[in-house]
Amino acid sequence: TDLDLNIDAVENLIQDVEENGYCEINDNTMIYIDGTNLKNIAIEKLETMLDDSYYVDKILDKDSLIEYFINGTSKNEVIRELVNGIEIEELLDM
């Protein structure tokens, strides 16, 4: 992707990465240090993504979706299962 960045913005991004272990440049691009725990950011993103049928279809297979529905599984429980069961990088790549 083409990113329009100036030197000051890049310096701020580097500082964010050094302080937090990661930073988001935009909705689709994240820079992070290998080994950084991205679990909290994945939880935040899933809270939004699971409100959108497009992402629900991409993230959950139909059998899991039916099982969650029948069992009355809450959104928070689904998020917890997803974060613990999928590579975070794979999840954030969606």
Digit-coded pLDDT (tens) for 6-56: 788 888 889 999 998 888 887 678 888 888 888 888 898 899 999 999 999
The mean per-residue pLDDT over the stretch 76-91 comes to 85
Number of C-beta neighbours around residue 30 at 10 A: 18
Residue 85 has a pLDDT of 81
- Closest to 85 in 3D by CA, of 73, 77, 93, 75: 77
26 phi and psi angles, rounded to 5 deg: -155, -170
Q: Which residues contact 75 (CB under 8 A, 6 or more apart)?
A: 47, 50
Specify the residue for token string 């059998």: 63
Please give the Cα distance from 55 to 58 (Å, whole number). Answer: 5
pLDDT at 1 over 60: no
The pLDDT, as a whole number, for residue 2 is 57
Q: Where are the domains of the chain?
A: 1-36, 37-94
Which position has the token pair 């329009």? 4
Place of tokens 């590579």: 87
Entry pTM: 0.67
For residue 69, the model assigns a pLDDT of 94
